[in-house]
Structure 1
Amino acid sequence: MSRTDAILARLMALHPKLIDLELSRTERLLEAMGRPQDRLPPVIHVAGTNGKGSTIAYLRAMLEAAGKRVHVYTSPHLVAFRERIRLGGTLVSNRRLNQVLEECEAANKGAPITFFEITTVAALTLFARHPADVLLLETGMGGRFDTTNVVERPLGTIITPISHDHTQFLGETLAEIASAKSGILKRGAPAVFARQPDEAMAVLERDARALGIAPFVAGQDFDGHAQRGRLVYQDDTQLLDLPLPALVGEHQIENATLAVAAVRHFGLDLPESAIAAGLREVVWPARLMSLRHGALIDSIDPGAELWLDGGHNAAGATALAAALADMARARPAPLVLVSGMMASKDAAAFFAAFRDLAPPVFTVPIPGESGALDAKTLAGHVAANGLSAHTARSVRAALRSASQAHPGARLVICGSLYLAGAVLAQNRTPPT
């Protein structure tokens, strides 16, 4: 076990619950650490159900293309914990990470605190100590009582698409979930909203009005669409002709458009060339990611394609299914899914999105995750949606069987970010 892993294991034991949404423990530790939240670079705070990470990836790429120093905080990580914290453009070093984690551990003095809370305080401490032009801050789950919601005066806030997820913590209805997400809105800070279901948008707009905010809303104040191999962005003052984003899928047009709107609405004053470069150069692992090299490639037929996607709820599955349908129209190939999912997710709703594509599905366990569904139980959800279900003991075994049964297939590993992380580790894909 590495020193980092040992520290993280100790921090994991400080609270009996993995998730406990309230801010008093975070605020107590922030006080002990000298209130780093008051010394942060200008913050763009991002909440929502889907697309948070991709939107942040676009913003980071655009800002860095303009020569800006950018801090980034995202979660969860895929392979290594340090992926969550990016200081001025590079992943935090193990030395700096270990040092600040141990500082927070000492300052906490053994008091109850969740893993996400203490590690977020550690990240904020690092961000306060290292100069940057912008901090891109992703919420962990909700918004109002999310550990990241300690920034009183953000540069701006973004709400990405809201859908049903984490209902046991945020509420059963879209209105309840939207109310949790809208908690990041702050008086005096401009806000940008993605397209939302009507029920969610009504809550977001109500809460914005209560704070005196006139939100910049997709489909009303700005829009973007693919046209003749380009991304055409338009708002009330300008039309931009931009390259299509490097990330694959129609949903990435929406995420990219949201990032462009934020750049413009928050007054970041980036040249169009930097916005274009960011769209071309963006990287965000496990979002319909093509795996062309690595240890797992040896398990598949030479004529097959291997893709990886971390979407894990119904909305993510719908976006993935739409992207795969587009890919099939462009280059037909047999489609096969390899899937593992956490028990906390709605597996039946996830696989319902693939009914029209009717792919065979090989279900697998997620290595090292006690909260994952076993392959047999997950296969039952697959079969309940009328899809052909097969179980396998591992991703490698599933890929081997699928490749033998369906030569030249488009093999897509999906269903969980935890599974995606395990796959990247098995494939020996380094953190980016």
Structure 2
Amino acid sequence: METPLDIIDRLGARWPKGFDLSLGRIRRLLGALGNPERRAPPVFHVAGTNGKGSTVAFLRAILEAEGLRVHADTSPHLVRYNERFRLADGPGASSFVDDDAFADALSRTEKANGDEAITLFELLTAAGFLLFAERPADALLLEVGLGGRFDSTNVIDRPAVSVITSISLDHQAYLGDTVEKIAFEKAGILKAGAPVVLSPNPDGVVAVVERVAAEIRAGSLMIGGQDWTAFEEHGRLVFQDVDGLLDLPRPRLPGSHQIVNAGTAIAAVRASGFRVGHDAFERGMERVEWPARLQRLTAGSIVDAAPEGSEIWLDGGHNPGAGEVIASAMADLEERVARPLVLIAGMLATKDPVGFFEAFAGLARRVYTVPIRGSDAARDPQALAAEARGAGVTAMATGGVAAALAHLRDTWSGPAPRILICGSLYLAGEVLADNGTPPA
């Protein structure tokens, strides 16, 4: 039997891997498959520029802590395509789709599509809906791939709740060159009668979402900073809305931005109508996991290659908004335990490196720029180093993460550094694979 990767490689060679935002192709394909999206469990549909994956992780941790059966669809994967589809194994437990079930869903999707024009992401989305429809679950956590209005996940007529996380500039070629234009595309996931939860956002974003929600007659709109708040107090997470206050453990995921993502998830659960007790919210904060988002690497070949005593952190954030929150988290760590900060960064050519690196000016001692293995869309390390220098950070190009670590080990003197590997989820996946610590 073919493996999932065999099938995906064949599909990717025939159909484009990029985005061609439209709903016509995916609706046709889902119709040929018997419309599995209509048999999916209640959906938490999550869009946003930054934080949507972490918000999905919090949602899963909370709902599973309540003993619910939860499916999840996230993208992109880090090491294996299987990571995109997590299936409920039973009450409070789930795992990545196994190869046999994945290959079967892909084969059926390929056959149903025939020779019709399609994109690889649409084929994967359709295969995911087959998987979600054919295994019982209480909830489906569905992360938007790009934008919202014309994203191939946007075929759910009545989600349990529509969620929009932090919005900033990214994918401008597809979504528009202002946060208001991008907000309009994200707000395309709102549906008549379905409740909406919005993370704290600039006033312009809030105004757009309010307007769209009113025009389509969405359900209740819960706006972060107005209708609900989440903040850290005395090392705890405090969440408050019209239904009362929750005093919870600080989330396991590091960074002050995760307080907001956790709050967004809590607000979404409460808006959705799912009955979840206080204990489940507590356990969700303590159990949540989300690889390559300020993930501390403590063992493995990458760790062994660094200067002795180094701290190594990994984050896949890749736009200016992500740069700001990652740099803020690094600054918080610096206040607790002072260490010189070194970046190892690789980025795709479509991203804004100056906007990303500007957040680290005055904070990072130096940047090593690296290629992204196996990607023909990666920015050349020499060009990326020049962009970093233009943002006010000392930078040099190297041949890869291993080469950067070798140079650092051979030339470093002084206190052991804090090393942040960053700039791309594809680079993060490469690092997790090489380190021997893939997502599980």
Tell me the TM-score normalized by structure 2.
0.96
Q: Pairwise CA RMSD of aligned residues?
A: 1.3
* Shift in CA distance, 13/110, structure 1 to aligned 2, threshold 3 Å: farther
CA shift for structure 1 position 237: 2.4
CA deviations 1:300-345 (Å, max 9, x no partner) are 1221101100000000000000000000000000100000000000
Greater CA drift, 274-283 or 6-15? 6-15
For structure 1, which segment, 240-249 or 299-308, has the greater mean C-alpha deviation from structure 2 after superposition?
A: 299-308
Q: Between the two proteins, what is the percent identity of the paired residues?
A: 49
Show the counterpart of 1:156: 161
Kindly state the Cα deviation for residue 382 of structure 1 after the two structures are TM-superposed: 0.8
User: Is 1:85 the equivalent of 2:85?
Assistant: yes
Moved more, 133-142 or 387-396: 387-396
Q: Which residues in structure 2 correspond to 1:330-369 (within 5 Å)?
A: 330-369=336-375
Q: SS at 1:137's partner residue?
A: strand
Q: Which residue of 1 aligns with 2:247?
A: 241
The reply to whether residue 378 of structure 1 matches residue 384 of structure 2 is yes
Q: 2:147 aligns with which of 142, 166, 178?
A: 142
Is 1:318 paired with 2:324?
Answer: yes
Report the equivalent of 1:184.
189
Amino acid at match of 1:402: L
Aligned residue for 1:67? Answer: 67
Q: Give, in angstroms, the shift of residue 403 of structure 1.
A: 3.5
Instruction: Structure 1 unaligned segments of length 5 or more: list them.
Output: none
How many Å separate the matches in 1 of 2:360 and 2:120?
35
Q: Which amino acid aligns with 1:400?
A: A
Aligned-partner SS, 2:54 = helix
Aligned to 1:121: 126
State the partner residue of 1:32.
Answer: 32
Q: 1:402 aligns with which of 376, 395, 408?
A: 408
Query: Greater shift after overlay, 236-245 or 283-292?
Result: 236-245
Q: Secondary structure at the match of 1:216?
A: strand
Counterpart residue number, 1:107: 112
Which of residues 407, 422, 428 in structure 2 aligns to 1:414? 422
Determine whether 1:132 maps to 2:124: no
Q: Does 1:425 align with 2:433?
A: yes
Rounded to whole Å, the distance in 2 between the matches of 1:39 and 1:266 is 18
Structure 1 match to 2:6: 6
1: distance between equivalents of 2:4 and 2:158? 32
CA offsets per residue over residues 274-294 of structure 1, 9 Å max, x none? 111011010000000000011
What is the letter of the counterpart of residue 168 of structure 2? S
Please state how far the C-alpha of 1:430 moved relative to its aligned partner.
2.7
What corresponds to 1:251 in structure 2? Answer: 257
- Return the letter of the residue paired with 1:352: E
CA distance in 1, matches of 2:364, 2:134: 52
**Aligned pairs, how many?**
432
**Cα distance in 1 between the residues matched to 2:431 and 2:368:** 15
Q: Paired residue for 2:202?
A: 197
Match of 1:98 in 2: 103
CA distance in 2, matches of 1:246, 1:163: 25
**1: CA distance, partners of 2:199 / 2:429:** 27
Q: Which residue of 1 aligns with 2:57?
A: 57
Deviation at 1:265, TM superposition (A): 1.6
Contact 2:362 2:393 survives alignment (8 Å):
no
| Aligned mates of 1:226, 1:368 — CA distance in 2 | 41
Deviation at 1:390, TM superposition (A): 1.4
CA contact (8 A) 1:75 1:140 kept: yes
Q: Secondary structure at the match of 2:365?
A: coil
Unmatched runs of 5 consecutive residues or more in structure 2: 89-93
Aligned residue for 1:359, secondary structure, equals strand
In the alignment, the residues of structure 2 paired with residue 40 and residue 192 of structure 1 have an alpha-carbon distance, to the nearest angstrom, of: 21
Separation in structure 1 between the aligned mates of residue 33 and residue 299 of structure 2, nearest angstrom: 43
How far apart are 1:224 and its partner, in Å? Answer: 1.0
CA distance in 2 between partners of 1:191 and 1:365 (Å): 40
Cα deviation, residue 16, structure 1 = 4.1
**One-letter code aligned to 1:135:** L
TM-superposed CA distance for 1:431, in Å, is 2.2
Q: CA deviation at 1:53?
A: 0.4
Q: Given that residues 16 and 120 in structure 2 are in contact (C-alpha distance below 8 angstroms), is that contact kept between their aligned partners in structure 1?
A: no
Displacement, 1:355? 1.1
Secondary structure of the 2:331 match is helix
Match of 2:43 in 1: 43
* Worse-superposed segment, 296-305 or 7-16: 7-16
In 1, Cα distance between equivalents of 2:105 and 2:385? 43
Superposed displacement of residue 2, structure 1: 7.2
Counterpart residue number, 2:303: 297
Per-residue deviation, 1:196? 1.1
For 2:104 and 2:48, the matched residues in 1 are separated by: 31
Q: Check conservation: 2:148, 2:185, Cα contact below 8 A.
A: yes
Question: 2:307·2:408 contact (CA, 8 Å) conserved in 1?
Answer: no
Query: Offset of 1:14 from its aligned partner?
Result: 3.6
- 1:338-380 CA-partner distances (Å, limit 9, x unpaired): 0000000001111011113143000000000010011101000
Match of 2:233 in 1: 227
